[in-house]
Amino acid sequence: MKFNEPINRNALLLAFVSFLIGSCLLLTYIIYPRGFFITTGYTYLIIAFAINSAMLVALLINAFYKYKNYKENLLTISLFLLNIPICLGYLSFII
């Protein structure tokens, strides 16, 4: 997909990397169910939440100011927000 806005490309890269790290942590916990991996996962969750929240705010500001690319901006925000139900699913699996 070609992006006109670099922030959209960076946001999707961040979402993909966050998904990969979270999936690797979950898989590691499933294979080796130790308390250390739960602590690591929750710590990652807090850090990822802060970083992804900041990126979401930046995406919303970008969508507001660069409204000519609204389709690209809305698609990026929608794909970026897909990590939320995935994260909740992972949490419900662990708890």
Helix segments in 1-95, DSSP class H: 6-31, 35-65, 70-81, 83-94
DSSP 68-82: GGHHHHHHHHHHHHT
Number of structural domains, the chain? Answer: 1
Tell me what pLDDT residue 58 has. 96
Tens of pLDDT, residue by residue, the chain (95 residues): 788 889 999 999 999 999 999 999 999 999 999 899 999 999 999 999 999 999 999 999 999 998 888 899 999 999 999 999 999 999 898 88
Domain annotation covers residue 81: yes
Give the separation between CA 6 and CA 72, rounded to whole angstroms: 11
Domain annotation covers residue 5: no
Give the separation between CA 58 and CA 41, rounded to whole angstroms: 25
Domain annotation covers residue 2: no
- The reported pTM is 0.89
Domain annotation covers residue 1: no
Q: How far is CA 63 from CA 1, 66, 83, 90, in A?
A: 18, 5, 19, 29
Residue 85: give the domain boundaries.
15-94
Domain annotation covers residue 19: yes
Domain annotation covers residue 72: yes
Tell me what pLDDT residue 67 has. 86
Say what angle helices 70-81 and 6-31 make with each other, to 10 degrees. 10
